[in-house]
Amino acid sequence: MIATVRRARGLQGEVRLPGDKSISHRALMFGAIASGTSRVRGLLVGADVRSTARCLRDLGVE
C-alpha cells in the first residue's frame, strides 16, 4: 500500500485518553514544545510524572 501524506497547515483539537504514565510523560513533553497554551486533563499523577513536570519547569517551560 502506498499512502501520500500532505503537510498540515496546523493542528488543533482535543484528545481524551485515560491516565497512563507513558502517555502522561508524552503529553507534558508535547505540551512543552507546542506553541501557545496546552491543557492536559486526566494526567496520571505519580512520582515519575511529577519529576518530568519539574524537569520541564527547570528548563523554562511554564
**pLDDT, one tens digit for every residue, the chain (62 residues):** 888 878 878 878 887 777 789 989 999 999 999 999 998 888 888 999 999 999 999 999 98
The amino acid occupying position 9 is: R
Secondary structure of residue 58 in the 3-state scheme: helix
Do residues 1 and 25 lie in contact, with contact meaning Cβ atoms separated by under 8 Å? no
C-alpha cell at 54: 519539574
- Report d(CA 26, CA 2) in Å as an integer: 29
Phi, psi of 5 (to 5 degrees): -120, 130
